[in-house]
Amino acid sequence: MAVLAYIEHIDGQFQKSSFEIISYAKEIALLTGTSLTVVSIGGVRDDSLQTLGKYGASKILRATGETLNAFDSAAYAAVIANAAAAEDVRILILPGSFSGKGIAPRLAVKLNAALIPDVTELPAIKETQLTVKRNAFSGKAFATVTTGADKIILTLSPNAYKLVPREEKAEILAFGAAEASAPGVRVKQVMRESGKVSLPGAEIVVSGGRGMKGPENWGMLEELAELLGAATACSKPVSDAGWRPHSEHVGQTGITIAPNLYIAIGISGAIQHLAGVSSSRVIAVINKDPEAPFFKAADYGIAGDAFEVIPKLIEALKERG
């Protein structure tokens, strides 16, 4: 019984999160003495697919077709379900991303599988029982879940597993598109902001809150982000006010991120905000109120006015070159 991993790409390019999925899935295949099959959906060039061999993908099923050019959770779930049946799979690994969260429940229903979302560690597998740790309550707690189900789907939290370099020669096989019914919503065009670091998989995130006073002050956050190679994010009231796009809103009702470094500027640290960022490896807070709750969750803190601190940080980074 093989292990199957679904990996996503942006315009044909794989991100670090996909290599994490393959590293993690390969380790489970080794633990269970089985093989790993990777499913890639949509237009990806052969040379990009070949790079997956560096993390242990030796068999890649590539599904292409008109209905698969834009993300559609029903169509993608149908392809992965077909691949799981063809490969006689017990354990499926999906990213804990927007698309993974859309596909996983549909797939669980199709395959009559147990779904364990947001796992953070390798599972312990004893005979038919699989036990794994997962994030619970928006990252405020961990749960340890055991299942003996015939089919098991795990979604892996971003940045939860290391990259494990391996040298495998990837064999790429064309896989038939699913007979998915016509999607209810048809995507006509996808426009991406080019040249910006994408928030979900970013290593460093510079985030601003209501303490930034208004959208006209975001220039310095963007400059800081650019110098650090970081993505930008914001608190909910900031996106609600239209200062920043909703795609940047992190927290309980926004997206969940787990970068290596999260820099929170002028954000109070409400529990609903922390729910989306508390898995960050290092948290640095800049707030003019030394009593701001965010300092309790921070690894580093600067109690100071953002309008004085940020220009100094920018200057120091420029001097460093």
Ligand X SMILES: Cc1cc2nc3c(=O)[nH]c(=O)nc-3n(C[C@H](O)[C@H](O)[C@H](O)COP(=O)(O)OP(=O)(O)OC[C@H]3O[C@@H](n4cnc5c(N)ncnc54)[C@H](O)[C@@H]3O)c2cc1C
To ligand X, the closest distance from the beta carbon of 265 in angstroms equals: 7
Q: Taking CB under 6 A as the rule, does residue 268 contact ligand X?
A: yes
The strand ranges marked E within the chain are: 2-7, 9-10, 13-14, 36-41, 59-63, 89-95, 114-119, 124-126, 129-136, 141-147, 152-156, 171-175, 204-208, 231-234, 261-265, 282-287, 300-303
Question: Residue ranges for the binding site?
Answer: 210, 266-273, 287
Tell me, by CB under 6 A, how many residues bind ligand X.
26
Question: CA 219 to CA 270: how far, in whole Å?
Answer: 25
Residue (48 or 252) nearer to ligand X, CB: 252
Contacts with ligand X, 275-294, as mask; x by CB under 6 A? -x---------xxxx--x--
Pick from 56, 209, 259, 301: which binds ligand X (CB under 6 A)? 209
Q: Taking CB under 6 A as the rule, does residue 46 contact ligand X?
A: no
Contacts with ligand X, 153-192, as mask; x by CB under 6 A? ----------------------------------------
Pick from 17, 23, 235, 279: which binds ligand X (CB under 6 A)? 235
Give Cβ neighbours of residue 266 (< 8 Å, ≥ 6 apart). 208, 209, 210, 211, 212, 213, 286, 287, 288, 306
Q: Taking CB under 6 A as the rule, does residue 139 contact ligand X?
A: no
Question: CA 209 to CA 203: how far, in whole Å?
Answer: 20
Contacts with ligand X, 238-267, as mask; x by CB under 6 A? x------------xxxx-----------xx
Q: Taking CB under 6 A as the rule, does residue 224 contact ligand X?
A: no
To ligand X, the closest distance from the beta carbon of 287 in angstroms equals: 4
Please check whether residue 123 is in contact with residue 115, taking contact to mean a CB–CB distance below 8 angstroms.
Answer: no
Strands 9-10 and 13-14: antiparallel
| DSSP track, 122-157 | PPEEETTEEEEEEEETTTTEEEEEEE--SSEEEEEP
Give Cβ neighbours of residue 187 (< 8 Å, ≥ 6 apart). 70, 71, 72
Residue (73 or 278) nearer to ligand X, CB: 278
Question: Residue ranges for the binding site for FAD?
Answer: 210, 266-273, 287
Residue (152 or 233) nearer to ligand X, CB: 233
Pick from 121, 210, 223, 227: which binds ligand X (CB under 6 A)? 210
Question: Which residues sit at the interface with ligand X, rule CB under 6 A?
Answer: 209-211, 235-238, 251-254, 266-268, 270, 272-273, 276, 286-289, 292, 305-307
